[in-house]
Structure 1
Amino acid sequence: MVDTPIDGAGGDGVLLILGPTASGKSGLAIDIAEALNGVIVNADSMQVYRDLRLISARPSDAEMSRAPHRLFGFLDAAEICSAARWAKLAGEEIEAARRRGKLPIVVGGSGLYVRALTEGFSPIPDVGPLHRQRAQGMLKKMGAEKFHARLAEHDPDIAARLETGDSQRLIRAMEVYLATEKPLSWWQALPPEPPMLKLPAFRLVLLPERSTLYERCDRRFEEMVREGAVDEAMALGARGLDPDLPAMKALGVKQLIAAGRGQILLEQAVADAQTATRRYAKRQMTWLRHQIVADHVCDTQDMERLKADIFPKIREFRLTAS
């Protein structure tokens, strides 16, 4: 991919390609990036993890070779990528692409990530691993009920909103208090940081017909399994990571680990993961319909027709964006 502007370059706009899982976002983004000198910036909260190449449906090496890809597979599964952390990194990648005359193409369906980029986020400081490990140790030693009670002493507002079994959010609230000596609710009440995205944005939303989307979800998961997703899940499970880490909660991980360990049949694991994926896709569709003001909404029944329709609009947007 050349670094000098080509057809479609010009202006300072950003293209957001948003849609539910299995809607065809990645393939469309690559085609647009090839044609309009783009850089693809990941906005999928699971595709940031290198351990989840298959399970997160990250673009293949061959696909990624067709256009520059950023923020894909750059984190270890033991890390937590908050929406604020991602938004800062995405903002840097968008600015770097803009300086090189390229079209930044943000692609994903993670609502928190998109909102952090376009609307801002609470100014909660980054918390280092030592505070997280201390909070995790407290939970393990005290047990869920006593840990919840201890959090309530420091942050009654957050504790009142969380169940004792919500270990990930309880640990998050405690680690923030341990690191800053201020409750998480105090930080959340502050005015949000300004959005990282300060450039004009063209929002392209893919909303396939539901039955078509569900069929794609099912078929894609079966393909993942054929390509080795069980081995990928087992390698992750063998690390003994905290089950509440985001990577460990990726769709299909729990089911495939259980199948790999002989606890359930693979057929049942696949069926359960497919059901969970369809439910997630449905939630994404609902969020996109109600939370995103789109510049162009389309299904993806005919991708070639979509590209013929949308490419001129993106070119026009780029030439007029400033």
Structure 2
Amino acid sequence: MIKPLIFIVGPTAIGKSALAIKLAEKMNGEIINADSMQVYLNLNILTARPSKKDQKLIPHHLYGYIDGSIRYNVATWCNDINNIIKKNNKKKIYSIIVGGTGMYVDKLLNGLVQIPSIPESIKEESEKLLLEIGINNFIDKVKNIDEKSLNKISKNDISRLRRIWEVHEYTHKTLTFWLDNKNKKFLSNQEYQLYLFTPDRKEIYNRVNQRFINMVDRGAIDEVKKLLTLNFDKSLPIMRAHGVPEISNYLSGKTTLEECIHKGQQATRNYVKR
């Protein structure tokens, strides 16, 4: 009998990974990552990846297996996790899927829009255009292209703003058009249980603030220093991970350590609000 999938989702810093380990021990399960940043090999501390000790205790999948130079995306993740789920189903064990990336979980359960892969040249073009004309003019362009998609996102979400422009530039169709098309399904009517944790906002903010301090104490600054030596393109997802821009500014002398910590905490809190 195929076991139902177990999803543990919610904002960062609430103890999802610890709960997943307890469940995996009790239920004979394996843990699969659903966090878009924990896939990267080059960031361990700042992404709060499970410790080596925990990963030895329980099999973990899709953690730290992608080089930071790669633009990882939800389509790749859906294919990767689907393969692991199939293997676990054959072994008749539970797949415990953990993360705060709601979009990843949503696409796995509800299917993925089959938008053609956008070439790097188009992504570079959108970044160049944004720098040339500024954010307000870029938003106006996006509004003229696909106002419906624009109204669904925060005007501060640069990645999604660029995505709307890039899809139209490459496919000559709006993102809305693609979203209205049939989704590619990944799961074949498999049962699942989804546990969504929504703690008190004040409590989660306090946890976020303390965790960022703990990360700095554990070596997050050296981790970013090492990352910067790889000279990755600043538009890559890994370079926008919580804490990386703030610590990068500290290392370049643009801010003090105190300012770095404050801004790192603030960036993470802003993400929790979404």
TM > 0.5 between the two?
yes
| Kept after mapping to 2: 8 A contact 1:168/1:244 | no
What is the match of residue 4 of structure 1?
none
What secondary structure, in the 3-state scheme, does the structure 2 residue paired with 1:50 have? coil
CA spacing shift, 1:60–1:269, aligned 2, 3 Å = same
What is the match of residue 100 of structure 1?
91
What is the match of residue 76 of structure 1?
67
CA spacing shift, 1:182–1:23, aligned 2, 3 Å = same
What is the match of residue 226 of structure 1?
217
Cα distance between partner residues in 2 of 1:123 and 1:146: 29
CA spacing shift, 1:266–1:139, aligned 2, 3 Å = closer
| Kept after mapping to 2: 8 A contact 1:20/1:206 | yes
| Kept after mapping to 2: 8 A contact 1:15/1:105 | yes
What secondary structure, in the 3-state scheme, does the structure 2 residue paired with 1:28 have? helix
| Kept after mapping to 2: 8 A contact 1:117/1:197 | no
Task: Summarize the alignment of residues 86-97 of structure 1 with structure 2, pairs less than 5 Å apart.
Answer: 86-97=77-88
What is the match of residue 187 of structure 2?
196
Matched, 1:124 2:121: no
In the TM superposition, what whole-angstrom CA distance separates every residue of 1:215-254 from its partner, at most 9, and x where no partner exists? Answer: 3222221121111101222233344444343222221111
Cα distance between partner residues in 2 of 1:214 and 1:165: 20
What is the match of residue 263 of structure 1?
254
Moved more, 129-138 or 81-90: 129-138
Cα offset, 1:138, TM superposition: 6.6
| Structure 1: runs of 5+ lacking an equivalent | 1-9, 285-322
Cα distance between partner residues in 2 of 1:139 and 1:208: 37
What is the match of residue 29 of structure 1?
20
Cα offset, 1:163, TM superposition: 10
Moved more, 235-244 or 87-96: 235-244
Cα offset, 1:24, TM superposition: 0.6
What is the match of residue 11 of structure 2?
20
What secondary structure, in the 3-state scheme, does the structure 2 residue paired with 1:263 have? coil
TM-score, with length taken from structure 1: 0.71
Task: Summarize the alignment of residues 1-322 of structure 1 with structure 2, pairs less than 5 Å apart.
Answer: 11-129=2-120, 131-133=122-124, 136=127, 155=145, 168-169=159-160, 171-173=162-164, 175-177=166-168, 180=171, 182-194=173-185, 196=187, 198-281=189-272, 283=273
CA spacing shift, 1:138–1:92, aligned 2, 3 Å = same
Cα offset, 1:44, TM superposition: 0.9
| Kept after mapping to 1: 8 A contact 2:24/2:30 | yes
In the TM superposition, what whole-angstrom CA distance separates every residue of 1:285-315 from its partner, at most 9, and x where no partner exists? Answer: xxxxxxxxxxxxxxxxxxxxxxxxxxxxxxx
Cα offset, 1:143, TM superposition: 5.1
| Kept after mapping to 2: 8 A contact 1:41/1:104 | yes
| Kept after mapping to 2: 8 A contact 1:127/1:179 | yes
Larger Rg: 1
Cα distance between partner residues in 1 of 2:36 and 2:93: 24
Identical aligned residues as a percent: 32
CA RMSD of aligned residues (A): 3.2
Cα offset, 1:107, TM superposition: 0.3
CA spacing shift, 1:196–1:35, aligned 2, 3 Å = same
Moved more, 95-104 or 180-189: 180-189
In the TM superposition, what whole-angstrom CA distance separates every residue of 1:43-83 from its partner, at most 9, and x where no partner exists? Answer: 11111111221111011111111111111122222333333
TM-score, with length taken from structure 2: 0.82
Cα distance between partner residues in 2 of 1:169 and 1:213: 25
What is the match of residue 293 of structure 1?
none
